[in-house]
Amino acid sequence: MASRDVVHYDTPLQRVLRVLAVIFVVLYLIWTLLPFVIMFVSSFKDLLAAFKLPEVGDWMGIGVFFDFTPTYKHYATLFQENNFGRYIMNSLIAAGGSAVISVIFGSLAAYSLSRVDFRGKSDLFFWIISTRMAPVVAVMVPLFAIFRSLDLVGTLPGLILAYTTFNLPFAIWILKGFFDNVPYGIEEAQMVDGATRFQAFTSILPLVAPGIGAFIVLCVLFAWNDFLFAAIIGSGGAKTLPVATRELVQPQNIQWGAIMAAGVVTTAPMMLLGLVIRKYLVTGLTMGAVKE
């Protein structure tokens, strides 16, 4: 898929539109990035400095925002008093665990759905997708009842299971598209070369790696950012970062500094992950869609 040169001829209208487009992009960038900037900067300010604002209309006073002495005390509070190290681990285990389990079962199921014809296949496939159609909130109460009777509430395995329930159909759905695009001839060649069916399956996994990569990212993002499951099913023993951050809001005392620091701690890993696999993610998501 080589990019093509787009031939275009400027009219005055297009020039105006181009300027407008630039303005729009700049505003959009400010709109999306400013909260992160404020969060990041505020996490290094003590409370007094954080709430120092310039007068309304005083654009020259904007420097006030950056006039502070950096302090690391909020981060120290998080890790020393609030046990955030543990919550980071919980988040990592819950997100990573469900991603790994979903990929293993998802790729096996997607491969079967892609390669084998059996009775009721299309119904089965629709049913798998349809489990994602109901809003999560709608099934939360029954799910909680089931998890409670299985003693899974407040445990990491419980949380992993809950995330997997929602990630697995997604994995099957995405990966089936990728398997569909791998020519069956490659596995046939493998089998004639002397591979078992399972070896043939594993041999084409590198070809769906972009799909698996893309899925893992989406799956980790979903679990990492999730609040609802974590608050209801993970509460207590399996507290994750979003829930722990929420608990920094106490009736008498909203710990703004710690909340900002927790926001940075929660956001930074996902941003890094996004940067590292950005290229992968784009090829992954488009490769399944366009047949070459």
Partner 1 sequence: MATVTIRNVWKYYNQTPAVKDLNLTCPDGSFVSILGPSGCGKSSTMRMLAGLEHISAGDILFDDVRINDLAPKDRDVAMVFENYALYPHKTVFENIANPLRLRKASEATIKDRVNGAAKLLEISHLLDRRPSELSGGQKQRVAIGRAIVREPKLFLFDEPIAHLDAKLRAHMRGEIKHLQKTLGTTMIYVTHDQLEALSMADYIAVMHDGELQQWGTPSEIFNHPVNAWVAGFVGEPAMNFVTAEIRGGGDGVTLKHANFEIPLLASQVGKLNGAAQAGTARMGVRPDALTISMTRPDGPAITGVIFVNELLGGDMLVEVQLQDVRMRVKTSTDFAGKPGETCWLTVNREKWHVFDAGDGHAYF
Both tokens of 165, joined, read 């329930």
In the complex with partner 1, the residue whose CB is nearer, 191 or 221, is: 191
| Nearest C-alpha neighbor of 112 from the set 179, 210, 205, 170 | 179
Both tokens of 89, joined, read 């681990």
The reply on whether position 202 binds partner 1 by CB under 8 A is no
In the complex with partner 1, the residue whose CB is nearer, 207 or 273, is: 207
In the complex with partner 1, the residue whose CB is nearer, 212 or 244, is: 212
Non-local CB neighbours of 75 within 8 Å, separated by 6+ positions:
43, 261, 265
Sign, CA torsion 142/101/235/132: negative
Cβ atoms < 10 Å from Cβ of 61: 14
Both tokens of 187, joined, read 């596995």
Least CB distance from residue 214 to partner 1, whole Å?
17
CA–CA gap between residue 120 and residue 128 (Å, rounded): 12
- Per-residue binding string, partner 1, 156-185, x by CB under 8 A, is ---------------------------x-x
Q: Using CB under 8 A, which of the segments 131-139, 155-163, 187-195, 213-221 binds partner 1? A: 187-195
CA–CA gap between residue 242 and residue 240 (Å, rounded): 6
In the complex with partner 1, the residue whose CB is nearer, 202 or 286, is: 202
Total residues contacting partner 1 by CB under 8 A comes to 16
In the complex with partner 1, the residue whose CB is nearer, 196 or 286, is: 196
Q: Using CB under 8 A, which of the segments 41-49, 90-98, 201-209, 258-266 binds partner 1? A: 201-209
Residues at the site binding partner 1, with contacts judged by CB under 8 A? 183, 185-186, 188-196, 199, 203, 206-207
